[in-house]
Structure 1
Amino acid sequence: MTPTMIRIFILLVFIFTPLGASAKQTILIVGDSLSAAYGLKQSEGWVNLLQNKFDQEQHAIELINVSVSGQTTGNALLTLNEHLKRYQPSHVLIELGANDGLRGFPIKQIKQDLKQLVETSQATGAHVAVMEIQIPPNLGPRYTSLFTAVFSETTQKTNTTLMPFFMLAVAGNPELIQNDNLHPNLQAQPIIRDFMAKEITIWLEKTAP
């Protein structure tokens, strides 16, 4: 290839590469019923609403939602490798622990499972964020306190991002909660979408190369 042809090739690449183009970020969301649109249609859940928002704003972000209602940290470990291999995400968001805590699972076990979820994801090169789950104080203040601490302790030990619990944006308003007093209803989903749009944007900026 002559010098003139090389210059033409470089010029063509520049012309046909959109300004500001960037590689697509793929976020694997590993969660439970709070992210699985429990009691709603999948299209009504916050994850789908957020994907629509990213698409409309032309952000190169793809959300892959593998959340399952009732899922625990231990359950998620059984399928995580399969999801990581299939989707090869650049980022993994772990929104788990509520079902562990509500069932009174041992804190040590929750901590161990959560750490394994993080390290398994990191082994693929993915950036990881762990959501700080909070549960009602039904099992007493000591258990509740130890449970909440699991999430910050895990992110500190694994050098990952601690993400605020999205339910904090709606939990104080009974009009935004389903009749079971646990799950966000249809009206709550856009609020969670906007909360997560902000948090995910901060996370992506923080982990940008």
Structure 2
Amino acid sequence: MSPASAQTAARATAAPAAARTVLVMGDSLAAGYGLAASQGWVALTADRIAKTRPGWRVVNASISGETTAGGVARIDGEIKRNKPEVVVIELGANDGLRGLPLSQTRTNLDRMIRSAKGSGAKVLLIGMRMPPNMGRDYTQGFADNYTTLAKQHAVALLPFLLEPIATDRNAFQADNLHPVASVQPKLRDHVWPKLEPLIR
């Protein structure tokens, strides 16, 4: 999905301007790559929030291909524009797949968390895992980035977004990276227990 269509979809499910906002800063996994605008787990979460949490809305500012560096560059503008009560950060996968230095990814995520908390927003950090071919040290260090930052900043953590479907090849599109539409409800339900307490 293009950034423009993702933002259009977010606006389409948004409540009135006075609503309290959940801002999602993610990559293709949150932008719903290869899916219709209504099918991704973020859109499904927005639907659930609209039905169960009156006065809340979801703004999906995710961009396919986004790195943590891109997130750092955009987050202050998104926070200023949307004034979120909750910021969901789902970034890092593209850093890992490119083999970028772990310290760089950690620094960028740290800056995003600080920006969100500095605005008064609560934070949900959603982690990823790297495939074994990246090497044991890298894959372990990549996972550790999320747990370390969550503890350091005392923010909510979902260690691995794709945990419910990771071992099911049929859950993924032909690229073996992006989940198909039929499993998006599983991802929504996986994220919900960590997100729901932040919007009570």
TM-score by length of 1: 0.82
Aligned residue type for 1:83: E
* Aligned equivalent of 1:64: 59
Q: Does 2:22 correspond to 1:27?
A: yes
In 1, Cα distance between equivalents of 2:108 and 2:20: 26
Distance (Å, rounded) in 2 between the aligned partners of 1:154 and 1:186 = 31
8 Å contact from structure 2 (residues 67, 95) kept in 1: yes
Separation (CA, whole Å) in 2 of partners of 1:48 and 1:66: 12
C-alpha displacement of 1:204: 3.5
Q: Is the 8 A contact 2:124 2:194 kept in 1?
A: no
Q: Flag structure 1 segments of 5+ consecutive residues without an equivalent.
A: 1-22
Q: Give the counterpart letter for 1:189 in structure 2.
A: Q
Deviation at 1:165, TM superposition (A): 2.1
Q: Measure, in 1, the Cα distance between the counterparts of 2:190 and 2:56.
A: 16
Structure 2: runs of 5+ lacking an equivalent: 1-17
Question: Distance in 2 between the 1:198 and 1:122 partners?
Answer: 21
AA aligned to 1:110 is T
Equivalent of 1:196 in 179, 191, 199: 191
The amino acid of 2:78's aligned partner reads H
Q: Which residue of 1 aligns with 2:47?
A: 52
1:73 aligned residue: 68
Alignment of 1:126 with 2:138, yes or no, is: no
Q: How many residues align?
A: 183
Larger Rg: 1
Q: Do structure 1's residue 163 and structure 2's residue 158 form an aligned pair?
A: yes
Q: CA deviation at 1:59?
A: 4.0
* Distance in 1 between residues matched to 2:44 and 2:156, nearest whole Å: 23
Q: Take 2:81 and 2:194, find their aligned partners in 1: how far apart are those partners?
A: 25
- What's 2:85 paired with? 90
- Residue of 133, 137, 141 corresponding to 1:138: 133
Report deviation, 1:77: 1.1
**Quick one: structure 1 residues 83 and 173, their matched pair in 2 at CA, closer, same or farther if it must change by over 3 Å?**
same
- 2:124·2:195 contact (CA, 8 Å) conserved in 1? no
- More off after superposition, 60-69 vs 111-120: 60-69
Residue in structure 1 matched with residue 99 of structure 2 by the alignment: 104
CA RMSD of aligned residues (A): 1.6
Answering whether residue 180 of structure 2 is matched by residue 177 of structure 1, we say no
- Matched residue SS, 1:151: helix
Partner of 1:18: none
- How does the TM-score come out when normalised to structure 2? 0.86
Distance 2:192 2:105 in 1: 27
CA distance, structure 1, for counterparts of residue 192 and residue 151 of structure 2:
23
Q: Provide runs of 4+ in structure 1 moved above 6 Å.
A: none
Offset of residue 55 of structure 1: 2.0
Displacement after TM superposition at 1:108 (Å): 1.0
Which amino acid in 2 is paired with 1:87?
N
**CA apart distance, 1:124:** 0.7
Pick which of 180-189 and 57-66 moved more: 57-66
